[in-house]
């Protein structure tokens, strides 16, 4: 390929292929699309990446990514200060913010405990979480962790860590997803939905 496309295009394809969701074939297609739309897309995207690489920092308080530390969420004075939503990853924080269901503060763990992958408590953003709770002002910690084995293991660990500090620790409800059909749900979800049924 090098003789056809030149090292610059080859490097662009190789780097694009490292993005999640793009393989070698779709990376070539994306590179060609970028080259064809040089002014509208290639140059602006390159510039946006340069700016992002230069300015983005991890928030020292919650672990979110932003161009300021503390991040826009932590610095927002209109948010509920007494509620802390604990998430695994920044993408979960974004998902909750898109849903616009809670105006609280967040804490990003940066993963879940996993014996299989060798992730222990020291690898997660836990010390900072305990310090935030111990610092006072937080009344409720909502564990918005994935309903996976690792997520639930982490939830139990975090609960044990935080209860001595006198905060109420809650987790997201299990149940039938909105728009979901019972026929396609697993037994665990159906059992949880029945157990946690609510009055009409």
Judged by beta carbon, residue 12 or residue 113, the one nearer a copy of itself is 12
- As to burial, measured by CB atoms within 10 angstroms (0-12 exposed, 13-18 middle, 19+ buried), residue 128 is middle
Q: Does 45 bind a copy of itself (CB under 8 A)?
A: yes
Q: Which stretch binds a copy of itself (CB under 8 A): 61-69, 139-147, 159-167, 191-199?
A: 61-69
Q: Does 60 bind a copy of itself (CB under 8 A)?
A: no
Angle, vertex CA 31, rays to CA 29 and CA 37, nearest 5: 105
Q: Does 180 bind a copy of itself (CB under 8 A)?
A: no
Q: Are 17 and 27 in contact (CB under 8 A)?
A: yes
Q: Does 156 bind a copy of itself (CB under 8 A)?
A: no
Q: Does 194 bind a copy of itself (CB under 8 A)?
A: no
In terms of Cα–Cα distance, which of 92, 62, 86, 84 is closest to 75?
Answer: 62
Contacts of 2 (CB under 8 A, 6+ apart): 10
CB of 132 vs a copy of itself, minimal distance in Å: 19
Contacts of 28 (CB under 8 A, 6+ apart): 13
Q: Does 99 bind a copy of itself (CB under 8 A)?
A: no
CB of 123 vs a copy of itself, minimal distance in Å: 15
The residue within the footprint of a copy of itself, chosen from 62, 63, 66, 170 (CB under 8 A), is: 66
């Amino acid at each position: 390929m090098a003789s056809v496309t030149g090292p610059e295009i080859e490097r662009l394809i190789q780097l694009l292929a490292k993005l999640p969701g793009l393989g070698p074939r779709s990376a070539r297609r994306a590179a060609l699309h970028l080259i064809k739309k040089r002014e509208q897309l290639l140059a602006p995207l390159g510039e946006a990446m340069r700016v992002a690489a230069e300015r983005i920092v991890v928030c020292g308080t919650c672990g979110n990514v932003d161009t300021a530390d503390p991040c826009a969420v932590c610095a927002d004075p209109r948010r509920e200060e007494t509620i802390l939503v604990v998430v695994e990853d920044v993408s979960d924080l974004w998902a909750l913010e898109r849903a616009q269901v809670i105006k609280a503060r967040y804490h990003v763990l940066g993963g879940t405990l996993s014996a299989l992958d060798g992730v222990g408590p020291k690898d997660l953003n836990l010390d900072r979480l305990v310090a935030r709770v111990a610092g006072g002002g937080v009344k409720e910690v909502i564990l918005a962790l994935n309903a996976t084995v690792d997520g639930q293991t982490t939830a139990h660990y975090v609960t044990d860590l935080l209860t001595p500090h006198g905060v109420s620790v809650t987790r997201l409800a299990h149940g039938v997803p909105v728009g979901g059909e019972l026929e396609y749900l697993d037994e665990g979800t159906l059992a949880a939905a029945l157990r946690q049924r609510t009055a009409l």
